[in-house]
Amino acid sequence: MPQNAHNARIPLPGNAKMSGTHALLISDDFEWNELLQQYLSGEGLRADMLSINEAGATLASVCVDYALVVLDTSDGDERGLGMLKMIRRCSRMPVVALAPLEGHEARVRALEHGADDCLSKACGPAELCKRLRVQLRHLRECEQDAADASVRFLGRLAIWSRQRRVEWNGRPLDLTITEFRLLGSLASAGERPVPKSELSLRALGRPYSARDRDVEHCVGSVSNKLALASDGHASIRPVFREGYLLVRE
């Protein structure tokens, strides 16, 4: 491989399907990176590549220059999760993490550390591209929501669409985009429990699957953050056979 070839940019084709988007692939598996970069380029998604160490050294620009990140956490040496923590300290940009083939616990850990989505590295480029499209659509929808209402108040809970910011009585909740969309769906439902199938479509952008339990993990994460910020006065509670309900006391 030529020097710095893994850091080269592939220009968007003239008929780009995802014009205006720019992704970063962070992985030490450069052969996998190149294959995925070529596939994404064919789908109209411009993608750069960096090793985990390179990304850490240029983190400030990473958090500004890219629409989203694909982060390889499949090596099991904790550097991938460490990179995820670093990104979350400076940005709420969407991060799609890649876990080992048989890595349920690794998927859960990635979600707990702030990944917006996580799937097996063996999923194939078509499935990964589909997940990236979902995250990019969420970004566009957040921008469109901002034009309708910059802030929404539900008692002591305040939701700013433009900044994707949530506060409880002035205390901020540090939410990923997926968590923000999940909380927004529950807040919009009022006193109606929201089924898991609806939450999965609105927050994760895909049909609900009891096998991966991503909705449950996301609900648990948001509920814990909300309960902590509100000193236990707000949380998300399960309603038997109906879904989840946002409770504010």
Phi-psi region of 205 (alpha: psi -120 to 50; beta: other; left: phi over 0): left
Residues 5-134, CATH architecture: 3-Layer(aba) Sandwich (3.40)
How far is Cα 52 from Cα 62, in angstroms, rounded to an integer? Answer: 12
User: Can you give the C-alpha Rg of the chain in angstroms?
Assistant: 18
Higher pLDDT, 14 or 198: 198
List the single range of 47-56, 120-129, 132-141, 216-225 with lowest mean pLDDT: 132-141
Of 154 and 242, which is predicted with more confidence?
242
Give the per-residue pLDDT at 26. Answer: 94
| β-strands 95-99, 117-120 pairing | parallel
For residue range 157-177, list pLDDT tens digits in order: 888 876 778 999 889 898 888
**11 has a pLDDT exceeding 60:** no
When pLDDT is cut at 50, 70 and 90, the band that residue 105 belongs to is confident
Does the pLDDT at position 32 exceed 90?
no
Residue 99 pLDDT > 60? yes
Rounded to a whole number of angstroms, the distance between the first and last alpha carbons of the chain is 60
Q: pTM of the full predicted structure?
A: 0.67
Measured N-to-C along each axis, helices 79-90 and 104-112 cross at an angle, to the nearest 10 degrees, of 20
Specify the residue for token string 């956490």.
73
Asked if domains 5-134 and 149-248 share a fold, the reply is no
- Domain ranges within the chain, ordered by starting residue: 5-134, 149-248
| E strands in 157-221 | 157-160, 165-168, 171-173
| 149-248 CATH | 1.10.10.10
